[in-house]
Structure 1
Amino acid sequence: MRIALYTLGCKVNQYESQAMEALLLARGHHLVPFTDQADVYLINSCTVTATSDKKSRQAVRQARKRAPEALVALCGCYPQVSPEAAKELEADLIGGSGDRRAFLDLIEQVAAQREKTVALDNPFHRAGFEPLPAGGLEGRTRGMLKVEDGCTNFCAYCIIPYARGAVRSLAPEGAVAQAKTLEAAGYQEIVVTGIELSGYGRDLPGRPGLADLVEAVCRAVPGLRVRLGSLEPRTVTEDFCRRLAALPNLCPHFHLSLQSGCDATLARMKRRYDTARYRQSVDLLRAFFHRPALTTDLIVGFPGETEEEFQQTLAFLQDCRFARMHIFPYSRRKGTPAATMPHQVPNGEKADRAHRAAEVASAMERSWLTSWVGQTVPVLFEEEKGGFWRGYTPQYVEVFVQGAGLHNQIRTVTITAAGDTHVFGQLTQEENP
């Protein structure tokens, strides 16, 4: 069958979609773009915000409109959390956020029988980590390596624990095997990811920690870059930094979720740290790594956030000097404690705060990028775009150069100019090994 796959959401979703691509190809199916005519349209959905839900529904409707006779299959976090709403859509098959192989079995069965099917489980009853094949379509430069699923933080604004269940981890030897598979497939970089990566290993015998896993993966594939997904600040200890700083192929890029720079707001969010602990993580990373990129997420307009609290956040952002930030106005998410909290911030005020925070973030990003002018750095190139080749440094600085045939190559580049979101450079004469 011709199968078109559309993915919304996080890097874990991207990993799971890549795994489904590999499994579908192994079963003899053909993959086509989501905008083409297909026999099956598979939507791997997201539910982190109300906007994510809307995009998931729109994707189902677009697929049905494009090919009325095709099978439309919806899986992922949206139907897991909102099964009744999902059932109202014109999907032939509805699954959840687990057991991807079984879901592909159902696609083949429903395609043959044409009976509308709903297959949802309780995510808190799942036993163990679901192993899936690493990698996906040919031609990619960065491979996702999912090592953890589930979350038990239950932050006040977040629905994801209800969609993914408790923490389940891939054993270190399994992660090493998948890393070697990605290396053999020609990938130059591995992104280690999970729903709550900092919770890695708490369910495994001996309770190996994230540092143990990262050491094992980096040493197994010393010729590949290894990049970490989002981390909780409490993960970053002196021992964590000392051990990881000794790994030459670990990318010095750390995404530390912040959400607010005000202790009172963090407490209402039920985050498990305060600004002092967060700043300790920032200082440790800068002490142990050379020019690390520190990136973060920020939610503005959380229920009860006053202008004074927001100003505290702006000051804390500038104190931390982030390389890049993702800024989100608080999205009221049904089913979470924050949705029923008093003192909801008006949408206009949330938009204004998001704009002001974005101005601070942009200034910090420009300063960070400008600091790279004149530096010589290794760049992994991904694609040609607008007459330039685009790639990324270990710190995830986006670089554009003129050249030819650079796909999936790591080349040395001298940075010559900085823009608002990326830099420009020139290839050096020497070739990288």
Structure 2
Amino acid sequence: MAYQRPKGTADILPGESEKWQYVEQTARDVFKAYQFKEIRTPMFENFDVFSRSVGDTSDIVTKEMYDFFDKGDRHIVLRPEGTAGVVRAYVENKLYGPEHQKPVKVYYMGPMFRYERPQSGRMREFHQLGVEAFGSESPAIDVETIAMALQLLKQFGLKDLKLVINTLGDLETRQAYRQALIDFLEPHFAELSADSKERLHKNPLRVLDSKDKHDQEIVKDAPSILDYLDETSTAHFTTVKQMLESLGIDYEIDANMVRGLDYYNHTIFEIMSNSKAFGGNYMTVCAGGRYNGLVSELGGPDAPGFGFGLGVERLLLIMAADEVPLPVDDQLDVYLVGIGAAAAPATLKLIQAIRGAGFSAERDYLDRKPKAQFKTANRLNAKVVITVGDSELAAKAANLKNMATGEETTVPFTEIESDFKAIFKTAVK
């Protein structure tokens, strides 16, 4: 039989994987500037980690999670998103303790899993970059994290970005708004989709997030959460807006934006792109917000948090569609041509010395003729070609050729082995 990868997954092959490495390294560099440290959590967690945090009315929990019972009859789930697992790790490892600098700022990157219809930029195994900051209620954390997300996307070369923000207020705000939404939606109950009927009394804010076109028409006239903000929530959101403006960051407010996860409160945001990849329509690239109750929900102290997630597949799709140049450095420094079986020991020793000096180097492993080896060196864009044949073995000195200028020199084996950096610098100057 012909074996194939599971539906909704992808093989990331050489030539493509370098793009992923560039994205990941760029993210690490930006996160480092903001003093975020990497955290790595398991790809699978106990089911309750996500059902309690993401919310049992969310599409992720009700429709999309890969969950199963393991051989110990434990209910396990492949992580569908990054935040809940990071919060679990924060609580379990007591990162809220006095010995840890506050806020605790971490980032993660890796695969996530959701069972949904595969389409362009949306896979069943997908990859996220994300950050979380724990321990501060300051609006400055909201704004700096949003600013970092924008800086990261601009570093990737994305243009025509739009920042959309909203607030979900604190618990008192949500309770008041929840009842107002129920009062508004109940007369339309018969017209709502099946999902929204199910959510109406469990979590009516999720109805605002419905993808059903008829639901969207109904909620156009729904009351705005901005009319239900209490004094604390108003002050927080006002400060966020003022700080964004002080940084010269443009934004739009969408009062119906709630995000798809139940743990959010106060500031939420989406950064959207009108890339050619989406036909010129604005689509979300990066999103996140504040979740002040999530840590305590998973057994920790009442520690506030703020974070975002970014899909790598969608990012690369945008960069390809908009022809963003990727500065991928895959040029070969040295190709070592060996002529004849007698040259093999010497070429092996030399190429290991060259690699040990910090240079990328390749040689022939198929016993090909010199002409074929030189063709390979050209195809690989080698900066320098070193040749070792019978005459070079006799002289214990290799022929070195600068492929850009054609200039050739003879270099003793001992110098290549002891100080190749100096030789290379002279050869390609």
Structure 1 or 2, whichever has the larger Rg, is 2
TM-score past 0.5 threshold: no
| TM bucket normalised to smaller | under 0.3
TM-score normalised to the size of structure 2? 0.24
Q: Which has the higher contact order (CA 8 A, sep 6+)?
A: 2
